[in-house]
């Protein structure tokens, strides 16, 4: 009996030690992660100031305020303007991600009705859907429990995901927003499309910032490759999880969970 007691004591000590080691490692991860997001934040701010000035000068030149420019020069100045806009979109995206990741964006959590939200998004996105001839289906049961989320941030999630779905779904396709309870605590939401899909190889890289699949759509339409990173951070800030499943040439589903009210 005594032997057994000693063995148990030893095991408990070991568990305690391992738990301490683990929590020390976790603390270190938190410190490093905060340093990373402080760094991104500082860099983004530093980049923004000179960029604003570049854009300011380019606009003055483009507007002909210093005299009419020769056509060739005007074309170049317009390019500077356009690329400055792209860069500023990138910097703002990075700032957004680092702010959310480091908890500097306050999440105003409130009870939200997903059916309501999806229907008003359907109204708002009706014109681009119609332009592209894609059908929009809301598959959310009435009486689904409300979720606990920040309205503005959740709208950003939907607009990003549905915006992508419209972009990557050829005419005649269908986009579905569905929601179901997963268990007592969480609701699962899915944004699916019947679009071009993503290969297994590219799917693995989609978690990385700035990654955009090399395809015909992306060659024509500009993007930052930061939208999905932002979506993932927003969902994680709500204690939810984000996942993607896709089949090349068949379509994709972007799923996330949110806590019930």
Given candidates 177, 206, 235, 258, which one binds ligand ADP under the rule CB under 6 A?
206
Supply the angle between the helices 151-167 and 227-237 in degrees, to the nearest 10: 150
Q: Which of these ranges, 9-17, 97-105, 145-153, 162-170, lies near ligand ADP under the rule CB under 6 A?
A: 162-170
Return the structure tokens found at 62: 């483009």
Does residue 198 bind ligand ADP (CB under 6 A)?
yes
* For ligand ADP, the closer CB: 146 or 245: 245
Does residue 173 bind ligand ADP (CB under 6 A)?
no
Does residue 165 bind ligand ADP (CB under 6 A)?
yes
Given candidates 102, 176, 218, 241, which one binds ligand ADP under the rule CB under 6 A?
218
Does residue 95 bind ligand ADP (CB under 6 A)?
no
* For ligand ADP, the closer CB: 20 or 205: 205
Nearest alpha-carbon partner for 39 in 124, 97, 80, 123: 97
d(CA 158, CA 230): 12
d(CA 215, CA 40): 29
Residues 139 and 164 sit within 8 Å (Cβ to Cβ): no
Q: Which of these ranges, 67-75, 126-134, 138-146, 191-199, lies near ligand ADP under the rule CB under 6 A?
A: 191-199
Residues 89 and 224 sit within 8 Å (Cβ to Cβ): yes
Does residue 225 bind ligand ADP (CB under 6 A)?
yes
Given candidates 212, 232, 233, 238, which one binds ligand ADP under the rule CB under 6 A?
212
Site string for ligand ADP, 142-161 (x = CB under 6 A): ------------------x-
Q: Where on the chain is the footprint of ligand ADP (CB under 6 A)?
A: 160, 164-165, 168, 193, 195-198, 206, 212-213, 218, 223-228, 252
């Amino acid at each position: 009996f005594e032997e057994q007691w000693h063995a148990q004591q030893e095991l408990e000590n070991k568990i305690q030690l391992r738990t301490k080691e683990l929590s020390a490692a976790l603390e270190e991860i938190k410190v490093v992660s905060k340093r990373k997001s402080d760094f991104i934040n500082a860099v983004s701010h530093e980049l923004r100031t000179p960029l604003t000035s570049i854009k300011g000068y380019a606009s003055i030149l483009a507007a002909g305020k210093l005299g009419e420019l020769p056509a060739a020069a005007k074309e170049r100045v317009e390019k500077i303007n356009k690329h400055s806009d792209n860069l500023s979109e990138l910097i703002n995206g990075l700032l957004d991600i680092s702010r959310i990741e480091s908890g500097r964006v306050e999440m105003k959590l409130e009870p939200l009705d997903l059916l309501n939200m999806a229907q008003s998004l359907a109204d708002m996105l009706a014109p681009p859907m119609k332009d592209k001839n894609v059908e929009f289906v809301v598959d959310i049961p009435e009486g689904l429990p409300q979720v606990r989320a920040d309205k503005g941030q959740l709208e950003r999630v939907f607009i990003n995901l549905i915006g992508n779905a419209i972009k990557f779904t050829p005419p005649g396709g269908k986009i579905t927003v569905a929601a179901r309870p997963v268990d007592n605590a969480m609701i699962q939401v899915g944004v699916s499309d019947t679009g071009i899909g993503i290969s297994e190889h590219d799917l693995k890289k989609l978690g990385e910032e700035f990654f955009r699949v090399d395809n015909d759509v992306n060659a024509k339409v500009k993007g930052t490759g930061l939208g999905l990173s932002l979506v993932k951070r927003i969902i994680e800030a709500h204690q939810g999880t984000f996942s993607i499943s896709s089949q090349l040439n068949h379509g994709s589903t972007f799923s996330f969970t949110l806590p019930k009210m």
